[in-house]
Structure 1
Amino acid sequence: MGRILAIDYGVKRIGLAVTDEMRMIAFGLTTVPTPEIIAYLADYFQNEKVELIVVGEPKQMDNSASESEVHIKPFLEKLAEKFPAIPIKRHDERFTSKMAFQTMLDGGMKKKQRKNKALIDEISATIILQDFLKTV
């Protein structure tokens, strides 16, 4: 069985999370500058079997698309073009950044660590993936 990879897309950087091979546990992988993501994923996919990509879907409270969706659509097209053998699913990512920050607080991280936006993106991707795993 292959892994599931989750993406928390951002204009500057992308948080990544992945499951174990049994798809039971989600854990943070890394954060990658957005312009470097396709090359990073190509390298990662050569070393790890990934059977599904889950991309966070930002929504407004009324379920309409968030303004950031305009940046995500071209990314999704490029992702599908470069990796056609790997299906892509979307998953609601509302409140993941706030939940990630709260996780950092609950974990006792120092103020300096909590300002690390890359870490917030990675934790957000992990939360997206954990929530997605509840639905499959």
Structure 2
Amino acid sequence: MRIMAFDYGTKRLGIAVTDPLQLIATSLKTLHPDAIWDFLTEYFKTEEVVTFVVGSPRQMDGTESQSAQHVRGFIRKLRKRFPNIPVVEVDERFTSKIAQRTITESGLKRRLHDKGLVDSISATIILQSYMQSKSS
């Protein structure tokens, strides 16, 4: 049973999942947001997800950012389509910057401008954050 995390954007949606034992978070994929529903339908044919984690965009002062309305819409659709899977929101401040630093430090600097890679790594960071908060 896996946990799946999303870094939602209006152009790209980064996805990360845990292993079945929920020990390791791994980048899975980046999709256009419209493609997520077909992807999830196919994914659920072979994998079980027990929790969705969605990055919640926040300003530096903790208030919602302008893109929060889009994320709330995505969460509403997730809850409607998959009512038996709980949705947890996690503060996603700085995840893109951390993802870019991770790419640079891993030696993939030439891929730093690959926004899909940044989004999927951001989803992994969101998932790791959730897992750490759960174990604390």
TM-score, with length taken from structure 1: 0.96
Runs of 4+ in 1 over 6 A off after TM superposition: none
What's 1:56 paired with?
55
What's 1:76 paired with?
75
How many angstroms does 1:41 deviate by? 1.1
Q: How much identity, in percent, do the aligned residues show?
A: 46
Structure 1 residues not aligned, in runs of 5+? none
Aligned residue type for 1:131: S
Aligned length: 134
What's 1:4 paired with?
3
Distance (whole Å) between structure 2 residues aligned to residue 49 and residue 61 of structure 1: 35
How many angstroms does 1:50 deviate by? 0.4
Structure 2 residues not aligned, in runs of 5+? none
Q: Provide Cα deviations, 1:75-99, integer angstroms capped at 9, x if missing partner.
A: 1111111111111000010000000
Q: Provide Cα deviations, 1:35-85, integer angstroms capped at 9, x if missing partner.
A: 111111111122101000000011111110111011111111111111111
How many angstroms does 1:13 deviate by? 1.1
Alignment root-mean-square deviation, CA: 0.8
Distance (whole Å) between structure 2 residues aligned to residue 99 and residue 55 of structure 1: 17
Distance (whole Å) between structure 2 residues aligned to residue 114 and residue 34 of structure 1: 21
1:99 aligns with 2:59: no
TM-score, with length taken from structure 2: 0.96
Q: Which secondary structure state, in structure 1, belongs to the residue aligned with residue 40 of structure 2?
A: helix
Among 124, 127, 130, the alignment partner of 1:126 is: 124
